Amino acid sequence: MESLKDLLPKLGQKNIAVIGGGPSLDFCMPEIASLAHDDTLFLLTDIVSENFIKMFPGSSRMVFTVEPRRHNYLGAMVNEQIAFHCGARKRNFNQRENSCYMFHFDFDSAVPANSFAMKSPGTVAGAIIYWALQVARQNGDAAQILLFGVDLSYIDNQVYNRLCKFSFHQNYWNNRETREWAAILQRTADIEFKEGYLVRSSREFSLTKENLGILLENYKYTRLFDYSPMGISAKYVKKRIPGEIIL
């Protein structure tokens, strides 16, 4: 187990792709497949990691997790790089068969000696974006940072994309779609109108958007591209439309 900061000098990839759990990722597979054959470092949220690795086993990647509760997203992983918050549940992943790197947020009260301080805009995707900025700065700001599935809202009446792994008991009345719709109704605290359509969001997602806007304003990083039609609306973020949506 090492500090996440110790990994920084070893990273030299040209592009950095952040893979979130949002629904728009379903439209971005051609772009991701192209990047997987390029010199790209993929930073994965824990909930998409297992299925992403099955699709792109040869990719250069790192998995991030901050979850203190029990889950089975990472249980079967071996020979992977896992970055975890010091408060994450250690039993969610195998520390002996993976390379594990610890970090903490700068507001944590009890900080382990061998961990790296990060700012937390909110959600695991926010933490990953902060780390991506650190990696990009290590390479002289030459890298592109590409955001996929970082919607921070419930577009198309979905919570997750199809790579996400989560458990539920399925029967005739309870399928994935109805489970996600129920979750949207429970979590909705904010709404936004986009091109005349109402898009729901949670308060956590809305705060994350605001905090990421402040973070990116401070970094003034100009090579950051977002493939979500909602996603982050900030001065230094350039929007790209996935090819499957254009077609």
| pLDDT tens for each residue of 186-204 | 888 888 887 777 888 889 9
Report the run of H or E that residue 128 belongs to, with start and end. helix 123-138
The full length of the chain comes to 247
* Region 149-169 average pLDDT: 82
Q: State the Cα–Cα distance between residues 71 and 221, nearest whole angstrom.
A: 34
Phi, psi for 100 (deg, rounded to 5): -110, 135
pLDDT band at 238 (very low <50, low <70, confident <90, very high): very high
pLDDT at 2: 82
Residue 218 sits in which domain range? 2-246
Q: State the Cα–Cα distance between residues 119 and 168, nearest whole angstrom.
A: 33
Compute the 3-state secondary structure of the chain and give helix, strand, coil in percent, each to the nearest 5.
35, 25, 45
* 90 token code pair: 């250690």
| Measured CA angle at 28 (ends 132, 223), to 5 deg | 35
CB half-sphere exposure, 216, CA atoms < 13 A: 24
* Domain tally, the chain: 1
* 80 token code pair: 């992977």
Please provide the average confidence, as pLDDT, over all residues in the chain.
Answer: 87
Strand partners, 41: 16, 60
pLDDT at 170: 64
* Region 97-108 average pLDDT: 90
Q: What is the DSSP letter of 9?
A: G
